[in-house]
A and B are shown apart, each in its own frame.
Chain A
Amino acid sequence: MTGEAPLLAFDAVSFTYPGKTAPVLEDLSFEVAAGRFVSVEGPSGSGKSTLLRLACRLEAPDAGVVRFAGQPVDAMPPGLLRRRVSYVQQTPALLADSVRANLRLAFGLRVNRDLEAPGDGRLRQGLDEFLLEKISLDQPARELSVGQKQRLCLLRAMLLAPEVLLLDEPTAALDRDNARRVLEIVKGLNRHQGVTIVMVSHNPADARNATARVRLGGDR
């Protein structure tokens, strides 16, 4: 895909879900250079989400190798890998707790103890940057709208300063206005902070900002 040294690479990767006979991904190879914005496209069931899950070791390939920064991901400690290659799920998953507790969640985990937990000032600034100016840190996170939850999850992932952001249909459940806001944020993270984006989307309009595309096959 590029002439530069790849940050993320799939090398002849195949994957079949347990209990299924047909592989969802077969002999898939591609490379993503640092700083790229890659759009993953394909019909339902073509393995788009699976591709993201393989990149952060939520699934293990049956064959082939997934590499991050030249190293096979299965040779890296999973916690450290997921801090650098951050996966944001399609459905925002939040604790039944305040916005503050959700944003600080990662900093209470063992693998992130070397990181300083962001103070309220930094969190407030983050909320403003992610177009969440109107919500308070004490507000229950689960009471936010879907669009706000999605942006909150993005912000939570970004607080760990990942090198790669894996986004699984981040605009799927959003209205046009909210979808546009999320895409603006993602574009900004890529352009201004140099975060490599790998984004799955059904909507061709979402892929307009992409600098590269991975197309997956038909229904299996």
Chain B
Amino acid sequence: MTPQIIAIGSWQLLFSLIFVLLAGAASLTWHLGLGRSLLVGTLRTFAQLALMGYALVFIFRLESATLTLGVFGAMILAALQIVHGRIKAHQVSLLWPMFGAMLVSYAVVTVVVTGVIVGAKPWWQPQYFIPIAGMIIGNSMNALAISLERLFSDLRSQRDLVEMHLCLGADAREASQTIVRGAIRAGMIPSINAMMGVGIVFLPGMMTGQILSGVDPLTAIRYQIVVMVMLVGSTALSTVAVVLLARRRCFGSGDRLLLRAGWR
């Protein structure tokens, strides 16, 4: 049986803007001051997704390993820029160690999922590699931002405790062990929570998208299970790697804590 997909026409797409108008009306009525943001957000949604759609059509048709891996690299760089911009620890240089840790952990998980679990041939087949990499990077980008923010704020606010450990002879690893553990946990909890609630609290976007486009729900569910566990794995890998690297950068020679309260 060929799955019957109902395509969304241009007029129908425009009609969907009624929901934005509703939000705009709420903003006007309640003086929320969100009109401009709503307008920009809507335009960006249309433009960015249209561009992405055309880009994907092009990339899928070309089937080039170089282009696929180039897109993968660009996605990581964009995520790196977002995470790095959000963290407030300019006393420590993190850009390149973070890039290395993100590249390795994302590459390992993406290649295992596409090449081994899904069995795409070749393993970099863009139709699989790019969406899966996108989910991994997008998801763990948030985890990284949460973990790093927690790491830096705790190292600053608990500087006395860290230095107390150092004064008793602890090395940087021992002195920051509890803080590092808390930071990694903070980053991982959202993806673990997502596993707890999936199928009960919410239906994930990927599965919903596949079902809407006519894929057998049982196939969609299998994909979704792989996605959920891969997200936990990639989040754990990248968070642990980046937090450990960041911790090393927060201590100078002689295990001196470089981060200071009130300094960014």
Cβ contacts under 8 Å, B170 to chain A: 79, 109, 111
Once the chains bind, are A79 and B171 in contact (CB under 8 Å)? yes
Central interface residue in B91, B160, B260, by most chain A CB within 10 Å: B160
Docked complex: B147-175 residues within 8 A CB-CB of A: 160-161, 163-171, 174
Q: Nearest B residue to A57 by beta-carbon distance?
A: B254
Interface size bracket, A side: 20 to 34
**Taking the complex as formed, is A119 at the interface, i.e. its CB lies under 8 A from any CB of chain B?**
no
Cβ contacts under 8 Å, B161 to chain A: 93, 95
Interface size bracket, B side: 20 to 34
**Taking the complex as formed, is A178 at the interface, i.e. its CB lies under 8 A from any CB of chain B?**
no
Once the chains bind, are B256 and A59 in contact (CB under 8 Å)? yes
Once the chains bind, are B167 and A56 in contact (CB under 8 Å)? yes
CB distance from A86 to the nearest CB of B (A): 6
CB distance from A48 to the nearest CB of B (A): 17
**Taking the complex as formed, is A67 at the interface, i.e. its CB lies under 8 A from any CB of chain B?**
no
Q: Mark B251-264, 1 if CB is under 8 A from A, else 0.
A: 01111110010010
Cβ contacts under 8 Å, B256 to chain A: 57-60
Docked complex: A140-165 residues within 8 A CB-CB of B: 153, 156-157, 160
Once the chains bind, are B168 and A74 in contact (CB under 8 Å)? no
Docked complex: A7-55 residues within 8 A CB-CB of B: 17-19
Docked complex: B116-146 residues within 8 A CB-CB of A: none
Cβ contacts under 8 Å, B254 to chain A: 57, 60, 73-74, 78
CB distance from A91 to the nearest CB of B (A): 6
CB distance from B23 to the nearest CB of A (A): 44
Cβ contacts under 8 Å, B165 to chain A: 105, 109
Once the chains bind, are A112 and B169 in contact (CB under 8 Å)? yes
**Taking the complex as formed, is A205 at the interface, i.e. its CB lies under 8 A from any CB of chain B?**
no
Contact of B163 among A60, A93, A105 (CB under 8 A): A93
Per the bound structure, the CA–CA distance linking A82 and B161 in Å amounts to 15
Central interface residue in B160, B168, B170, by most chain A CB within 10 Å: B168
Given A91-B160, A109-B174, answer yes or no on A78-B167 (Cβ-Cβ < 8 Å).
Answer: no
Central interface residue in B163, B167, B170, B171, by most chain A CB within 10 Å: B167
Once the chains bind, are B169 and A109 in contact (CB under 8 Å)? yes
Per the bound structure, the CA–CA distance linking A63 and B91 in Å amounts to 21
Per the bound structure, the CA–CA distance linking A95 and B164 in Å amounts to 10
Per the bound structure, the CA–CA distance linking A112 and B256 in Å amounts to 19
Cβ contacts under 8 Å, B263 to chain A: 18-19
Given A18-B260, A58-B163, A110-B174, answer yes or no on A82-B169 (Cβ-Cβ < 8 Å).
Answer: yes
Cβ contacts under 8 Å, B257 to chain A: 58
**Taking the complex as formed, is A68 at the interface, i.e. its CB lies under 8 A from any CB of chain B?**
no
Q: Mark B220-264, 1 if CB is under 8 A from A, else 0.
A: 000000000000000000000000000000001111110010010
Once the chains bind, are B168 and A109 in contact (CB under 8 Å)? yes
Per the bound structure, the CA–CA distance linking A157 and B168 in Å amounts to 7
Per the bound structure, the CA–CA distance linking A86 and B164 in Å amounts to 10
CB distance from A156 to the nearest CB of B (A): 7
CB distance from B93 to the nearest CB of A (A): 13
Q: Nearest A residue to B158 by beta-carbon distance?
A: A93
**Taking the complex as formed, is A83 at the interface, i.e. its CB lies under 8 A from any CB of chain B?**
yes
Q: Can you list 20 A-B contacts with CB-CB less than 8 angstroms, sorted by A residue number? A: A18-B91, A57-B255, A58-B167, A60-B252, A60-B256, A78-B166, A78-B255, A79-B255, A82-B169, A89-B160, A89-B164, A89-B167, A95-B161, A109-B165, A109-B171, A109-B174, A110-B171, A111-B169, A112-B168, A157-B168
Binding site for A on B (CB under 8 A): 91, 160-161, 163-171, 174, 252-257, 260, 263
**A58-B257, A78-B166, A157-B167 known, 20 other contacts, Cβ within 8 Å:** A18-B263, A56-B167, A57-B256, A60-B256, A74-B254, A78-B254, A83-B168, A86-B167, A93-B164, A94-B164, A95-B161, A105-B168, A106-B168, A109-B168, A109-B170, A109-B171, A112-B168, A112-B169, A157-B168, A160-B169
